[in-house]
């Protein structure tokens, strides 16, 4: 079975600073990888996904992630954050079906 580990539970960051959220996964076969964002009391919104091909994936709101097969990682980055990026971020993996396994989440708090 596949699993996801988000290495940072909380990430405080100043506005306009860069941020990186770390995600490692475990699977013996190829997987699809996702990053979702959850704003307070809301559902999840897809930021980006990796299926195959280019290892650098660009998503919405200026986010990007890089798939590293040898390190089984899928870290999320943004070069300059805004206050509005304050949210919970979830890394997820699936074995090419719709059953997502989520990481524990990373709370990003952006301060002015």
Interface with another protein by CB under 8 A: which residues? 32, 34, 36, 41-46, 49, 51, 90, 94, 96-105
For the bound state, the minimum distance from the C-beta of residue 43 to another protein, rounded and expressed in Å, comes to: 4
Per-position b or e across 16-26, b if 16+ CB within 10 A of its CB: eeebebbbbbe
Half-sphere exposure of 19 (CA within 13 A, CB side): 27
Nearer to another protein (CB atom), residue 66 or residue 88: 88
Nearer to another protein (CB atom), residue 15 or residue 66: 66
Tokens 């860069």 locate to: 18
For the bound state, the minimum distance from the C-beta of residue 91 to another protein, rounded and expressed in Å, comes to: 10
Nearer to another protein (CB atom), residue 11 or residue 100: 100
For the bound state, the minimum distance from the C-beta of residue 80 to another protein, rounded and expressed in Å, comes to: 26
The answer to whether 29 and 95 are in contact (CB under 8 A) is yes
The DSSP symbol for 84 reads G
């Amino acid at each position: 079975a596949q699993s996801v580990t988000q290495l940072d539970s909380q990430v405080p960051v100043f506005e306009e600073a860069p941020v990186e959220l770390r995600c490692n996964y475990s699977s013996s076969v190829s997987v699809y990888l996702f990053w979702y964002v959850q704003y307070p009391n809301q559902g999840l919104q897809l930021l980006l996904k990796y299926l195959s091909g280019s290892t650098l994936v660009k998503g919405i709101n200026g986010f990007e992630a890089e798939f590293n097969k040898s390190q089984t990682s899928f870290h999320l980055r943004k070069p300059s954050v805004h206050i509005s990026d304050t949210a919970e971020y979830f890394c997820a993996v699936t074995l090419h079906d719709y059953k997502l396994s989520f990481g524990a989440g990373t709370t990003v708090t952006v301060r002015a």
